[in-house]
Amino acid sequence: MIPVEAQGKLRKAAQPEWMTPMLATLTEDRFSDPDWLFERKLDGVRCLIFRRKNRVRLFSRNHHDLNGHYPELVEALDAQPGDDFIADGEIVAFDGNNTSFAKLQRRLQVSDPEAARRTGVRVFLYLFDVPHLDGHDLTALELRHRKSVLRRMLTFRDPLRFTTHRIGAGVDYWQQACGRGWEGVIAKRADSPYVHGRSPDWLKFKCVNEQEFVIGGYTDPKGSRVGFGALLIGYYDNGELRYAGKVGTGYDDHTLEQLGDRLARSERTEPAFAHGKLPRAGVHWVEPELVAQVGFTEWTRDGQLRHPRFRGLRDDKSPRDVVRERAR
């Protein structure tokens, strides 16, 4: 299964209990290069799969157990013949032809397997890497070889899908992605090893501006609105929470009520924000414990978001790890 030319980079190793996933770096450059692979950027939840003998474990990128959220994925992986591997992928739900983080929210909010099934939200696992297999560490292998191993390692049928890629034509693929309403494209150096953390060997070509922010407060609702008016959000900069603005759109009534109740239970007297011109009227400060996915058009000169829109909550990233994404 391992290509002959790659076998010299194999290292014998027992399967670890955990490994930090490889992460992509944001860039404003768009390029085509025959030494790079280009994959569709999926709007979902990162997932590391640990299969050891008769046990399958799904984890988010910050080591949260996902088995209860996606029981059908556990069953599909359990039916695979391999009994010692770690695979890397993304869990998604679809709205039409596009992946939808908003739709996936219904699965993220429940951890009981039967309740997860009752949501009726169909999920898929797109797999794109394999850092460990059959008692060997594959992280030193080139990406092209790891993907070749992955393609032959598993039987891909729904809900398991192999993440296809294009070679070289990065600009064309990114333009097609944006035209189809996708999130963007991930560019990966074909000869890159798998490293544990963010790397310039994997790059994000985004079609839209979007990232995670920490929720540090909320405003009172007005008129007939329920729950809250807007979220007050920020990001960490040198260990301090910096205010990035208010997010008042993107919510349905169910989210307003449920998230409003949750925020009300975590109120504090003083803001956690250390920087930024903060609103004062009708404001409630909360412990900086929740992370929101927010889309926006651009950053203003004074570090605020223009036209922000709430996309959903994330529990796969710790608040302290939320920083402003800057293109390399």
Give DSSP secondary structure letters for 33-100: EEEEEEEEPPSSEEEEEEEETTEEEEE-TT--B-TTT-HHHHHHHHTSS-SEEEEEEEEEEEETTEE-
Q: For residues 183 and 280, state if they share a domain.
A: no
Q: For residues 133 and 47, state if they share a domain.
A: yes
pLDDT in tens, the chain (328 residues): 677 777 889 999 999 999 999 999 999 999 999 999 999 999 999 999 999 998 999 999 999 999 999 999 999 999 998 899 999 999 999 999 999 999 999 999 899 999 999 999 999 999 999 999 999 999 999 999 999 999 999 999 999 999 999 999 999 999 999 999 999 999 999 999 999 999 999 999 999 899 999 999 999 999 989 999 999 999 999 999 999 999 999 999 999 999 999 999 999 999 999 977 899 899 999 999 999 999 998 999 888 999 999 999 999 999 999 999 988 7
Look at residue 13 and tell me if it is in a domain.
no
Domain boundary, last residue among 148, 182, 207: 207
Domain boundary, last residue among 207, 229, 263: 207
Look at residue 4 and tell me if it is in a domain.
no
Q: For residues 311 and 284, state if they share a domain.
A: yes
Look at residue 73 and tell me if it is in a domain.
yes
Q: For residues 53 and 188, state if they share a domain.
A: no
Q: For residues 202 and 308, state if they share a domain.
A: no
Q: For residues 221 and 126, state if they share a domain.
A: no
Q: Which two tokens stand for residue 76?
A: 């599909």
User: What sign does the CA torsion over 79, 81, 84, 88 have?
Assistant: negative
Q: For residues 201 and 114, state if they share a domain.
A: no
User: Cβ contacts of residue 92 below 8 Å, gap of 6+?
Assistant: 42, 43, 44, 45, 99, 100, 104, 123, 124, 126
The answer to whether 233 touches 244, Cβ cutoff 8 Å, is yes
The answer to whether 233 touches 247, Cβ cutoff 8 Å, is yes
Give the Å distances, CA to CA, from 237 to 109, 319, 324.
29, 12, 8
Q: Which two tokens stand for residue 210?
A: 């979007």
Q: For residues 200 and 254, state if they share a domain.
A: no
List the CATH number of the domain containing 145. Answer: 3.30.470.30
Q: For residues 305 and 223, state if they share a domain.
A: yes
Q: For residues 291 and 308, state if they share a domain.
A: yes
Look at residue 189 and tell me if it is in a domain.
yes
Residue range(s) defining the domain that contains residue 27 = 21-40+167-207
Q: How far apart are CA 182 and CA 41, in angstroms?
A: 7
Q: Is the pTM of this model over 0.85?
A: yes
Look at residue 243 and tell me if it is in a domain.
yes
List the CATH number of the domain containing 289. Answer: 2.40.50.140
E strand or H helix at 208: none
Which residues are known catalytic residues?
41
Q: For residues 30 and 57, state if they share a domain.
A: no
List the CATH number of the domain containing 179. Answer: 3.30.1490.70
Q: For residues 189 and 275, state if they share a domain.
A: no
Overall number of domains in the chain: 3
